[in-house]
Structure 1
Amino acid sequence: MDSDNQHGKRLPGDVTYKGLHEGGSRPVRPGLTLIASSLCIFVVQLDFLAMNLALPRMASDLGTSVTDLQWVISGYMLALAAALIPGGRLGDILGRRRMLGIGLVIFSLCSLGAGLASTSGAVIVMRIAQGAGAGVLFPLAIAVITDAYPPERTMRAIGNAYGIGALALALGPVFGGGVTELLSWRVVFFVNVPIGAVAIVMVLAGVRESRDTTVPRSVDLPGLATVTLGIAAVTLTVDRLRTWPAGLTAGVATAGGLLLIGFVMRERVARWPLVALDLFRNRPFLIITLMATVANVALIVSTYGVTVYLQQVTGRTPLDAGGVFLAVSVAAGVAAPLSGPIGERFDVPRTMSVMTLVGSAGLFLVSLGGSLWSYVPGLALIGFGYGMGWTMGSSGTQSVVPPSRVGQASGVELAIVIGIAGICVASAATLIEIRAATTGLARAIEEVLRWIAVGSAVAAVALGVVATRVTPPTQAPGAPR
């Protein structure tokens, strides 16, 4: 790594860096940066998980159907996926602190607007804008941690941020179901406002401005347009797969694919590309991103399948299902902060491979059905194994790219990991629906979960072998060897 990527001398209570900040080296407060980043991750995950359980009551109050209101979820995810890559790179170009603050303001104000909205259309518009804000702030929440900590402490700090964010996994279903039942679905939106306000204060107080000083403050607008529209079209196709005619689905999917091809061609000739394509020649980055994708696909699909199973097969209420699901969220909350010290001590890709195998063992146990005595331990293994694999993806990719490009790397990694997971969960939902018509819902879910368990195990082993052959051992700088 060249001299521009090294950290400067550390002052008591502060960290300074060379070559990445405007106005030379100035102190930054890592603790406040960590709090701000953790709040960003927490509020995005809490909002998404809680909102799913609020839809039925929201539809009733607004005089519409749950099906029509699916755009509250779908529109949000569409905008989130489309904004991840542009959001991360815009932070590198225009300033990570500035863009993180803008993302938080958009997210918080649109949450307030959605909570005050009186029509379903207004709620959907606010949710789409809120998703765009989330797509900007999410990758930059990781990038500012990388900027605030020395290399030997970065993985641990990112793990701690995800650990705090993982509390949303536990609180989301219980909060969404409980608050909607006892108070109002509007509270699910309103709670984002004070959390977002505190996060903004933390950003202003503790996050130092940083950007990629090797590029000018100019944005590749053609690249920005093509990647945003391309990802949006592909994501929209996946979301509407079961409702659109085949011709329309194929047309929009083709348009999205062509836009993404056009984006790659544009980035190859752009003087200052939005995404430098040499990132994909970084073998450790690619291996870690693929492993994180496998872990996240398995985690998201299993979350969907288990949630449906607990409510529609076993007949539990949303609140009861959320209680059972605590096994996943608590285990993931334990795994996230542990991922830092483990990643510092052991090789990241191979550790991710082992953790994915742990998650697949738990998912296979869950796929067998049975009583809670076997179901809950399986859920705990899912949360711990897949959760650590997902967390290590963010911290691991940050450790193998230059500090000047951490925003871009975070946005690309998250776009791949989240985007493919979205495609897979939509495909799994369709497959469960098809299989349920002949085998029954319980068996259909169990079969899909079993296939995911076996598939993730095979992928983990294969990627582990590839990592051994094509990449050197990757550890955080300064870790014991």
Structure 2
Amino acid sequence: MVISGVSFRPRHHRRPDRGGTEAGGTAPPRRNLTLIAASLCIFVVQLDFYALNLALPAMAAELGTSTTDLQWVVSGYILAQAAFLVPGGKLGDILGRKRVLLAGLVVFGVASLGAGLAPTAPVVIAFRIVQGGGAGIVYPLAFAVITDVFPGRQAKRAIGNAYGIGAVSLALGPLLGGGVTELIGWRSVLLVNLPLSVVALAAVAGWLRESRDPTVPRSIDLPGLVAVVLAIAAVTIAVDRVRAWPPAAPPALAVGGLLLLAVFVLREQRTTNPLVRLDLFHDRRYVIVTLMGMIANIAFVVAVFATTIHLQQVRDYSPFVAGVAVLAASISGGVSGPLAGRLSERLGVPLLIATATMVGACGLLVVSFGGDLGPYLLGLAVTGLGYRTGFTLTNLGTQAMVPAERAGEASGVTLAVLLTGSGIAVAAAGTLIEQSDLAVAVTRVLLGTAAGSAVAVALLAGASRRA
């Protein structure tokens, strides 16, 4: 392999029997064990999303900063995850998905330990960024190993089931974040990732067989990687610093980020071994489905971020009660995995994503008006079901559009687009919430997110019919 001019002699591997998978004798793959191991990986990286959101007020109080400033604990993690999704998937295709998956879990677990022991807010954020990088390596490969061993249409159902199993973490996250923060402290929310990572490591090491794509060049486009990471970071920081910096600085930084993104695209078009093979985007269906999924995920992530602040700092609920409330969205989001897998076998993915996103928008409109806790919880449940179904459908739909040997690369690219949009959106939501009365600002963010997601997905659904 070649990274920044350094060569590594590739190990010899057996002839692939399907999608770059190394033949392991005549025995069929242990599909159920592969599904469980992959689901554990998804469980680990999803668990602290809800948990950390609910722990932000307590974390801010102890570390002497504001909750909105600590949005970088969430958005920094998401953006680091997005930045490493593509190289994570690509490295798995080159070096072996099992091997790189193990490395990603180690990075994730060690960084969780560092964040849990960190003495200051900047140190917490720094470790969260490293943790996000580990999650970015783990996430696409968890789906790639499923696509590798499940043939054809079975892969859709398997991915949906993996989301369903992994989504148990979505249900436990609010209880962990709210209950553990209130009873023990916010640090425990991060420290619990360490033993969970060890369990996932054992499952991957014991149950997964090695697979790779022997057709790809054994190199990583390091200049392209640096360009895309800096581009994403520049745009996000520009959004976050609108109020804190002189008026001309954020727009200048945003323009610089967009120029770097253009440099990345030109680099990928001309280099012999691109980080992203841009022919993925020649498929109009792939592009439309990915954009629809990005909208659904942006709406969901912003909804959780804003309602967490609203429940604790506007309605004065304790972290535990807020966690129980957000549980409505997490449980319904967990149901979305198996549901999406089965629906996609019968109906078109773009139509399903559009319908699911509209459902999520209706739920979010109910949440935005506040009111009694009963309708609020019902709105959160509908929000989670709709938007998470759209997110799941995007991943299994785009995986079905590419050859199995490109599963890692395609999964990384799709998830990178989804999570980059979400990271920028959380930064923007934090900035908007800081600008006026907290209750009014949260309501505006939720209303805008619901309306924007509905309009955007409707336009894309129309485009998909013409594709």
The TM-score, its normalising length taken from structure 1, stands at 0.86
- 1:21 aligned partner: 21
8 Å CA contact 1:357, 1:385 repeated in 2: yes
Q: Hey, what's the Cα distance between the residues in 2 that align with 1:24 and 1:259?
A: 43
SS in 2 for 1:301: helix
Distance change (3 Å), C-alpha of 1:66 and 1:105: same
- Superimposed CA distance per residue, residues 209-237 of structure 1 (whole angstroms, 9 cap, x where no aligned partner): 22222122122222222222222332333
Equivalent in the alignment of 2:365: 364
Q: Which residue identity is paired with 1:460?
A: V
Q: Is the 8 A contact 2:21 2:148 kept in 1?
A: no
Separation in structure 1 between the aligned mates of residue 240 and residue 152 of structure 2, nearest angstrom? 39
Q: What is aligned with 2:196?
A: 195
Contact 1:28 1:206 in 2 (8 A): no
CA contact (8 A) 1:17 1:25 kept: no
Q: Name whichever of 167-176 and 120-129 sits farther off.
A: 120-129
Q: Aligned pair 1:65/2:65, yes or no? A: yes
Aligned pairs for 1:46-57 (under 5 A) are 46-57=47-58
Which residue of the partner structure matches residue 462 of structure 1?
A: 459
Paired with 1:73 and 1:305, the residues of 2 have a C-alpha distance of 12
Distance of 2:154 and 2:65 partners within structure 1: 49
Aligned to 2:184: 183
* 2:256 maps to amino acid: A
Q: How far 1:400 moved relative to its partner?
A: 0.4
Is the partner of 2:153 in helix, strand or coil? helix
Letter in 1 for 2:224: G
Equivalent-residue separation in structure 2 for 1:203 and 1:224 (angstroms) = 27
Unaligned runs of 5+ in 1: 1-15, 471-481
Note the C-alpha offset of 1:119.
5.3
Q: Could you tell me which amino acid in structure 2 is paired with residue 21 of structure 1?
A: T
The aligned counterpart of 1:103 is 104
Number of aligned residue pairs: give it: 450
Q: Which has the higher contact order (CA 8 A, sep 6+)?
A: 2
Return closer, same or farther for 1:267/1:421 CA change in 2, 3 Å cut-off.
same
Alignment of 1:404-423 (within 5 A): 404-423=405-424
Superposed displacement of residue 89, structure 1: 1.9
Q: CA deviation at 1:60?
A: 5.7
* Counterpart secondary structure, 1:370: coil
CA contact (8 A) 1:85 1:415 kept: yes
Alignment CA distance shift 1:269-1:385 (3 Å): same
Instruction: Please tell me whether the aligned partners of residues 18 and 148 of structure 2 are also in contact (alpha carbons under 8 angstroms).
Output: no
AA at the equivalent of 2:363: G
> Partners of 1:465 and 1:60 in 2: how far apart?
47
Distance, in Å, in 2 between the alignment partners of 1:407 and 1:103 is: 14
Structure 1 position 174, deviation (Å) = 2.2
> Following TM superposition, by how much is the alpha carbon of 1:31 offset from its aligned partner in structure 2, in angstroms?
1.7
In structure 2, runs of 5+ residues without a counterpart are 1-15
Instruction: Output aligned runs, 1:202-241, within 5 Å.
Output: 202-241=203-242
Residue identity opposite 2:87 in structure 1:
P
Question: Residue in 2 aligned with 1:442?
Answer: 439
Maintained 8 Å contact 2:44/2:197: yes
Distance 1:243 1:166, change over 3 A: farther
Structure 2 distance, partners of 1:157, 1:19, is 16
SS in 2 for 1:245: coil
SS at match of 1:345: coil
RMSD after superposition: 2.4
Mean CA deviation greater in 289-298 or 362-371: 362-371
1:428–1:69 Cα change, 3 Å: closer
Q: 1: CA distance between counterparts of 2:117 and 2:244?
A: 30
Give the C-alpha shift of residue 64 in structure 1. 4.3
Structure 1 residue 367: deviation in Å? 2.6
Q: 2 CA distance for matches of 1:161 and 1:431?
A: 35
Give the match's secondary structure for 2:220.
coil
User: Which amino acid letter does the alignment assign opposite residue 18 of structure 2?
Assistant: K
Q: Which residue of 1 aligns with 2:39?
A: 38
Q: Distance between the aligned counterparts of 1:175 and 1:361, measured in 2? A: 28
Question: Which amino acid letter does the alignment assign opposite residue 90 of structure 1?
Answer: L
Q: How far off its partner does 1:189 sit? A: 2.3
**How many angstroms apart in 1 are the aligned matches of 2:19 and 2:82?**
31
Residue 184 and residue 86 in structure 1: after superposition, are their counterparts in 2 closer, same or farther (change >3 A)?
same
Distance 1:128 1:332 in 2: 25
Query: Deviations for 1:369-428, whole angstroms, at most 9, x for unmatched residues?
Result: 322232222222111111101111111110001112111111111111111122223323
Contact 1:114 1:189 in 2 (8 A): yes
> Which letter maps to 1:93?
I
Bigger mean CA offset, 48-57 vs 207-216: 48-57
